[in-house]
Structure 1
C-alpha cells in the first residue's frame, strides 16, 4: 500500500484514533492532528490526502460552547469538495452528513452500548463490505442521527437507528465505533457515565465493559474498511 498523508480531527482527549493509529503505523502513513481541545490550527488542504473526523460528546451545532465547530464544519466541506478521502466516526459522521447537505437531528432513542447492525440492500452490493456478516454487534455511543445525503449509498442499519452508515464516492460516514480499543472504551465509559441512564438501547457501564471480547473483531473490520477505502474499493 502506497503511503498517504493523513490528518485527523480530535474533539476530546478520550476519543482518539483507537485502533486506527495501529493501522496508520503499520502502513507507514504520515499523520498529523488538529486537537480542538488544545486550540490547534487546521492545516492547508494541500497538506493531506485523507481526513479522519473523530467522535465527541458535543452536537454539531453546539457552537456557543465549542466555537471551533463553525470553522470545522466549513473545513470538512472544503475537504470533501477538494476530493479528499474522508472518514467520519460518530460525531464525525454527523459533521460529514451536514457538510454534504443532509439534516442532522436527535434520534428517537439514544444508542449506547453493544448492539447489532445489519447490512442494507445497498450494503450487500458494496465492494467495501464484501465478506461482512449480515448482522453483527458493534459499539455505539450517540444520541443524534442524520438523513442520507443526496446520492449516498446506505450501508448499515440497526433496530435503534436506521441510518448507521453511508458512502458517497470517497466519503464514508460511520455512526458507530469500529475503532474502539479496551483503553478507549474504558475512557468513554469513565467520561460519559452520566449518559448511562435507563433506555431501550442504553447499556450499563458493567454491560459495556463485559463485552470487550468483541473489540478484536470490530478492529479487524475497521482495518478492512480502511484498506479498501484508500484503495478506492467502494
Structure 2
C-alpha cells in the first residue's frame, strides 16, 4: 500500500492518520508541495492520497502555484476510485477539485469543539466509527459549499459543512481529527505567538481544555483515521 501525502505548511504532520497508516503497513510518499517539491502527474504510482492543512487559503494560486494542479490530482484519484482524504485546507481543495465554491475569511473556529454527525453519516464507513456527537480540534476560518452529489456527513455550531464524502472513498473533513493532544501540544509551541495574538484566552485555559476534551477527541480521531485507512 503506497500512499501519497501532500504537506501544505510547516509542522502539519499526519498525527493520528500516520498512526493508522503505520498500523496498516503503508508506505508513505511525502511531498512538501509548499516548499516546491513536485507533485506526481497522476495517480498511477499510489493507492491513496492524503492532503493536509495549511495557513493559506485554497485559492491562493499566486503564492502557491501548485494548488490548481493539486485540486486536479485530487479528482484524478477520486475518478480512479482511490481513497482520498483532505483535512482542513485539504478538504477545501477537495471541494475545489470537484467544482464547489470556496468561502474565504469567515470567523475563526479554533480549539476543541463538538461536531455532530448527520443522519446519513450513521451508515457511512468512516463517520459511523464515532458517536453522534464528539469533541474534536478545529483551526480554520475558510470553508466551502458542498460539491454536487456530495454526501453531507457532519457539522458544528460555527460551520455547516464539516465533513462530506464523494463516491466510495473521497472525503473532505474540515476538522483536525488527525491532531491528537500530542500534535496540538506541538502546534501550541510552534505557533505560540500566532495563537497568543488571536486566542489568548484559550492559551490561558489550555490545561482545562485538554482535561475536558483531549482524551475523547483523541479516541474519536483515531477511530476516524483507522476507518478511512481501511477503505484504501
TM-score, normalised with respect to structure 1? 0.86
Q: Helix, strand or coil for the counterpart of 1:211?
A: helix
Unaligned 5+ segments in structure 1 are: none
| 1:116-154 per-position Cα deviation (integer Å, ceiling 9, x unaligned) | 111112223434333532222110000011111111111
Cα drift, residue 181 of structure 1? 3.0
Superposed CA deviations along residues 169-215 of structure 1, whole A, max 9, x for unmatched, are 2101110011113442134333264366568xx96223445433444
Match of 1:5 among 2, 16, 32: 2
Deviates more, 1:209-218 or 1:46-55: 209-218
Greater displacement, 115-124 / 204-213: 204-213
Match of 1:38 in 2: 35
User: In 2, Cα distance between the equivalents of 1:137 and 1:120?
Assistant: 15
Shift of 1:113: 0.9
Contact 1:102 1:149 in 2 (8 A): yes
Cα RMSD after superposing both structures = 2.5
Q: 1:17 to 1:84 in 2, by over 3 A?
A: same
Instruction: Give the corresponding residue for 1:178.
Output: 177
Q: Secondary structure at the match of 1:46?
A: coil
The 3-state SS of whatever aligns with 1:118 is: strand
Structure 2 spans left out of the alignment, 5+ residues: none
1:77/1:149 CA distance change after superposition, 3 Å: same
1:217 paired to 2:216: yes
Q: Which residue of 1 aligns with 2:118?
A: 120
Query: In the alignment, does 2:108 pair up with 1:91?
Result: no
Q: Distance in 2 between matches of 1:84 and 1:217?
A: 30
Name the TM-score, length of structure 2 as normaliser. 0.86
Q: Deviations over 1:7-38 (max 9, x none)?
A: 11001121110122222222211111111133
Residue number in structure 1 paired with 2:194: 194
1:45 is displaced (CA, Å) by 1.4
1:108 is displaced (CA, Å) by 4.0
When structure 1 is superposed on structure 2, of 86-95 and 177-186 the one drifting more is 177-186
**1:65 and 2:63 matched:** yes
CA contact (8 A) 2:130 2:224 kept: no
